[in-house]
């Protein structure tokens, strides 16, 4: 319900802004750009296509890009323990059993991905298994299972699709505006449109990423809270404290970064995760 409300609210807010912009262009500058519906449909197709394709291919991309070894039949005690913990947490969270995997990385990290909560993948790094206690690993797994249970992969895709749509749309509007006002091209589109559109897409995408990253940081707090419910608050705090002691984790690929466990970068507006101190403090306040 929250994801649907957020999706509708985002569209409503954007449509209000869109109406105001169109009104200003028409009334102040006397320019009738026309064809808005067609442009919006094209933008939506382009904007959502990339996000949806990425979502449906996320597990395959993760396995290949991260070299994830899927535990189909546990070959040792560690693998058996990982599968049993994820199975128990998935049952508690009310989701289907995710695939469980391990990827080679020196630093402690983990991520969850998949196109829906009943067909997900939870993977941990070898560095995480080597540098954390079982209680801490359990908390990290609970954090990732909570991402799945919260439907974060789908929500992020919806938000990214909406953002992409309006980045393309406003880039086309700006391109046409500049082409007609600056380059005086009254019929069709000229070189000014294409150049301006490309520049506008870059600038708007950069600004739009602030919105996406804000939501990414917000749902990290939710996943921490979910991890605390599944594994225990003290275990979740201990896991985050351990991450603070570790070296800065290696960056995950862009498509996995938003679902990893590590803390945010110093450029907070563009960080996918909040600082670890803030996450720990949030858990302590909740207690």
CATH of the domain at 70: 3.30.2010.10
35 found inside a domain: no
* Positive/negative CA dihedral, 63, 59, 146, 157: positive
Tens of pLDDT, residues 136-195: 999 999 999 999 999 998 888 888 888 888 898 899 889 988 988 888 877 777 888 889
- Model's pTM, two decimal places? 0.77
Identify whether the C-beta of residue 121 lies closer than 8 Å to the C-beta of residue 109: no
Q: How many domains does the chain have?
A: 1
H-only helix segments in the chain: 2-29, 36-56, 58-66, 77-93, 126-131, 134-149, 152-181, 191-231, 233-245, 254-257, 276-286
Q: What is the pLDDT of residue 56?
A: 86
197 found inside a domain: no
Tokens of 28: 């102040």
Tens of pLDDT, residues 261-275: 555 444 677 788 899
29 found inside a domain: no
Which of 74-83, 110-119, 239-248 holds the top average pLDDT? 74-83
39 found inside a domain: no
Q: What is the pLDDT of residue 265?
A: 45
- 129 by DSSP, 3-state: which? helix
Task: Give the sheet arrangement for strand 120-125, strand by strand.
Answer: 69-70, 99-103, 120-125, 110-114
- Out of 72, 144, 250, 251, pick the active-site residue: 144
26 found inside a domain: no
Residue for token digits 């206690």?
A: 133
14 found inside a domain: no
177 found inside a domain: no
Segments forming the whole domain that contains residue 109? 58-153+217-286
**Mean pLDDT of the chain, nearest integer:** 84
d(CA 226, CA 139): 10
> Taking the CB of residue 210, how many other CB atoms lie within 10 A of it?
11
250 included as an active-site residue: no
């Amino acid at each position: 319900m929250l994801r649907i409300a957020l999706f509708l609210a985002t569209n409503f807010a954007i449509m209000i802004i869109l109406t105001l912009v169109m009104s200003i262009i028409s009334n102040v500058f006397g320019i009738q750009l026309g064809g808005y519906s067609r442009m919006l449909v094209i933008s939506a197709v382009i904007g959502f296509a990339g996000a949806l394709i990425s979502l449906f291919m996320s597990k395959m991309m993760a396995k290949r890009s991260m070299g994830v070894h899927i535990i189909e039949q546990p070959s040792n005690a560690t693998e058996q323990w990982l599968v049993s913990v994820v199975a128990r947490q998935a049952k508690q969270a009310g989701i289907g059993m995710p695939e469980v995997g391990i990827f080679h990385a020196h630093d402690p990290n983990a991520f969850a991905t998949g196109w829906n909560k009943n067909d997900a993948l939870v993977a941990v790094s070898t560095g995480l298994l080597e540098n954390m206690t079982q209680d801490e690993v359990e908390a990290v797994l609970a954090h990732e299972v909570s991402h799945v249970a919260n439907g974060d992969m789908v929500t992020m895709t919806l938000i990214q699709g909406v953002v992409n749509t309006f980045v393309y749309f406003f880039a086309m509007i700006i391109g046409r505006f500049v082409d007609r006002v600056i380059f005086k091209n009254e019929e069709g589109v000229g070189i000014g449109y294409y150049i301006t559109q490309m520049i506008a897409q870059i600038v708007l995408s950069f600004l739009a990423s602030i919105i996406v990253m804000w939501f990414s940081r917000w749902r990290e707090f939710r996943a921490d809270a979910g991890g605390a419910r599944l594994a225990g608050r003290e275990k979740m705090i201990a896991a985050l404290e351990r991450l603070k002691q570790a070296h800065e984790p290696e960056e995950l690929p862009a498509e996995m970064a938003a679902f990893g466990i590590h803390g945010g970068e110093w450029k907070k507006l563009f960080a996918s995760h909040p600082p670890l101190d803030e996450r720990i403090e949030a858990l302590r306040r909740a207690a």
